[in-house]
Amino acid sequence: MRHKEAVSAKRKPGWLDRGFWFKQMRLWHWVSAAVTLSGLILFTVTGITLNHAGDIRVEPKVVERTARLPEDLLSTLETLGTSPEAQGQSLPQPVRQWLARELNARISAGPAEWSDMDVYLPMARPGSDAWLSIDFADGAVLYEKTDRGMIAYLNDLHKGRDTGAVWRWFIDIFAVASLIFAITGVVLLQLYAKTRPSTWPLVGLGVVIPLILAIVFIH
């Protein structure tokens, strides 16, 4: 009994035990790997397509549509356009609904550019650019959309171009999860290094090769 009590007294707390940290690192490593898997595939593939953007030829598809805004909706826009607070305001919801129906297009609720003569609404999205203008004189609506294809869409997701706040938050969270994946991977390398002598030479090679390429070939 005394021997068992002595062993228990010398036993380290769980958080000081090497086995405890080994289990924790393995847990966080595989969880972060699972969370970042799809994102890693996306950003890796689009890294290649961005690096060869000049070699990928895509013919943009341009769509133009016209319409004429009804008098009641036009008067609403004219009143709003003459207001000092107009700049940065989005198109009123009834106007957006009418435009979406008539133009068969998604109409942004983002800020528009107002003047005494017309209103201009930019609607850039990943992989495409679109805009519309409404002339206050006669209610003429001109809509244009340029679609650059799926590869351009994925490339814009990679860059966070015209993606909105939610996707930018996703990129930040994904970056943190990827950092956890990398750090726990380094800790696991340290834990396995004693039985795998090639561990640190390979890690060093992964650092030295990009460094040499940057110094020698990038000017």
Give the pLDDT confidence of 52-110 residue by residue, as tens digits. 988 888 889 999 999 999 999 998 888 876 776 777 789 999 999 999 999 999 999 99
Domain annotation covers residue 5:
no
Say yes or no: 157 and 135 in one domain: no
Contact 137, 97 (CB under 8 A): no
Q: How far is CA 128 from the centre of its chain?
A: 15
- The percent of residues above 70 in pLDDT, for the chain, comes to 90
Say yes or no: 158 and 211 in one domain: yes
How far are the Cα atoms of 181, 182, 194 from residue 186, in angstroms, in the given order?
Answer: 9, 6, 14
Tokens matching residue 171: 């990129």
Question: What's at 156, amino acid-wise?
Answer: D
Number of domains in the chain: 2
Tokens matching residue 202: 């390979």
**How many residues are given for the chain?**
219
Say yes or no: 91 and 144 in one domain: yes
Domain that holds residue 84: 61-148
How far are the Cα atoms of 35, 94, 99, 104, 113 from residue 72, in angstroms, in the given order?
Answer: 51, 10, 14, 21, 21
Look at residue 96 in the predicted model and tell me its pLDDT.
Answer: 95
Look at residue 12 in the predicted model and tell me its pLDDT.
Answer: 56
Q: Indicate if the pLDDT at residue 7 is higher than 60.
A: no
Last residue of a domain, one of 118, 133, 148: 148
Say yes or no: 120 and 189 in one domain: no
Q: What is the pLDDT of residues 107-162, one digit of tens each?
A: 999 999 998 889 999 999 999 999 999 999 999 999 999 999 999 999 999 999 99
Consecutive H or E run containing 118? strand 118-122
Say yes or no: 42 and 92 in one domain: no
Say yes or no: 138 and 86 in one domain: yes
Last residue of a domain, one of 132, 148, 164: 148
Last residue of a domain, one of 126, 148, 170: 148
214/219 Cα distance (integer angstroms) = 8
Say yes or no: 124 and 159 in one domain: no
Look at residue 213 in the predicted model and tell me its pLDDT.
Answer: 92
Bridge partners of residue 121, in order along the sequence = 132
Say yes or no: 100 and 85 in one domain: yes
